[in-house]
């Protein structure tokens, strides 16, 4: 947001950088006035005051109170002093709300919205867990070990971020949630609940996988033009019951999913390179989706006694 035209040169930027109030008459603006002012002036407002709300011992601006009027003559100094007193009265309450918003935003960013809601609701003890059903996605970059040996660290990070970004866009659009980044791998869930039945979850997962692979071609074309290595990745898709909750040491927990369905999803992904197919499906998953698929045969899978039926999308 702070790189947008809406913010650059705005009164809020001034507040966050100077920690001082902004007072601007709107009935006599200069030609180069910021749109934050001109839009209000066009609506008939005559005066604008923005007051920083300082939080914590560092006295850094954590919020701002903005007050505008259409009254002829605008605000007097007595008005602004009254606003300042109201600001000081509200500051502790606003700080609590801002910290709560910050905590939720950080949790959403690091563990995902669904998981953050459970943690913030008090699901924080080792062993706290739910049993849920979900469509599962496990993806992994091709030749990542070789790339880390041959590329500079900043190039590796750039490639990882590009890969994570376009996969995230495809998954989020279909209602999925990235649960974990495991090096260059991603574990993603499409929970089956009141808002998403089992068929809907599986169709959402396969649509996201197809969208991600389709967008990869355009991304790799741009990377080729800039002399960057192409990104290739495989996806394993499965559906089943998983344990969703806290594991770890007493003072260091991880909120994740686990169970046979997760293991089989990861094993499917490991077969993608061997079978020359970027997307592989379990039999149950293939039976639940609308997109046509075909059986590639029974294949041995590490850790599972019997060979497993492996499906791929039909070639067009």
Tens digit of each residue's pLDDT (9 = 90 or more) over 91-130:
899 989 888 888 888 888 887 788 888 888 888 888 888 8
How long, in residues, is the chain? Answer: 316
Q: Which CATH number fits domain 11-111: 3.60.20.10, 2.60.120.260, 3.30.450.40, 3.40.50.300?
A: 3.30.450.40
Could you give the dihedral angle defined by the CA atoms of residues 71, 74, 78 and 84, in that order, rounded to the nearest 10 degrees? Answer: 100
**Which residues fall within 8 angstroms of residue 181, CB to CB, at 6 or more apart?**
164
Region 124-313: CATH code: 3.30.70.1230
Report residue 58's pLDDT band, with 50, 70 and 90 as the boundaries. Answer: low
Could you state, in order of their start, the residue ranges of all structural domains in the chain? 11-111, 124-313
* Mean of pLDDT values over 44-66: 87
Measure Cα distances from 64 to 23, 88, 92, 241, 256 in Å.
Answer: 13, 11, 13, 47, 38
d(Cα 204, Cα 132) in Å, to the nearest integer?
17
| Residue 205 pLDDT > 90 | yes
Q: Which of 288, 280, 284 is nearest to 138 (CA)?
A: 280
Residue 259 has pLDDT above 70, yes or no: yes
Largest CA distance in the chain: 83
In this predicted structure, the answer to whether residue 190 has a pLDDT above a threshold of 90 is yes
Looking at residue 179, its pLDDT comes to 84
pTM of full prediction above 0.85: no
C-beta separation of 179 from 194 below 8 A: no
Q: How confident is the model at residue 51, as a pLDDT?
A: 95
pLDDT score for 168: 92
The percent of residues above 90 in pLDDT, for the chain, comes to 51
């Amino acid at each position: 947001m702070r790189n947008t035209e809406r913010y650059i040169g705005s009164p809020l930027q001034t507040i966050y950088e100077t920690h001082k109030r902004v007072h601007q008459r709107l009935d006599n603006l200069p030609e180069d006035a910021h749109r934050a002012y001109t839009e209000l002036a066009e609506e008939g407002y005559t005066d604008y005051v923005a007051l920083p709300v300082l939080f914590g011992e560092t006295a850094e601006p954590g919020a701002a109170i903005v007050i505008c009027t259409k009254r002829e003559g605008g605000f007097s100094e007595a008005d602004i002093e009254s606003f300042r007193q109201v600001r000081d009265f509200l500051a502790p309450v606003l700080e609590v709300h801002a910290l709560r918003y910050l905590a939720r935003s950080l949790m959403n960013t690091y563990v995902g919205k669904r998981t953050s809601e459970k943690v913030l609701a008090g699901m924080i003890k080792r062993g706290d867990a739910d049993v849920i059903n979900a469509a599962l996605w496990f993806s992994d970059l091709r030749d990542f070990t070789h790339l880390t040996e041959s590329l500079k660290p900043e190039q590796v990070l750039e490639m990882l971020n590009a890969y994570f970004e376009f996969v995230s866009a495809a998954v989020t659009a279909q209602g999925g949630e990235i649960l974990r980044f495991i090096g260059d791998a991603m574990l993603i869930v499409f929970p089956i609940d009141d808002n998403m039945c089992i068929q809907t979850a599986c169709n959402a997962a396969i649509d996201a996988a197809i969208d991600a692979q389709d967008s990869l071609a355009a991304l790799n074309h741009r990377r080729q033009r800039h002399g960057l290595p192409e990104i290739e990745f495989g996806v394993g898709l499965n559906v089943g019951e998983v344990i969703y909750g806290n594991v770890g040491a007493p003072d260091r927990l991880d909120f994740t999913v686990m169970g046979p369905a997760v293991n089989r999803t990861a094993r499917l992904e490991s077969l993608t390179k061997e079978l020359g197919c970027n997307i592989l499906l379990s039999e149950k998953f293939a039976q639940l989706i609308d997109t046509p698929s075909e059986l590639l045969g029974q294949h041995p899978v590490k850790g599972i006694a019997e060979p497993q039926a492996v499906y791929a999308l039909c070639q067009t």
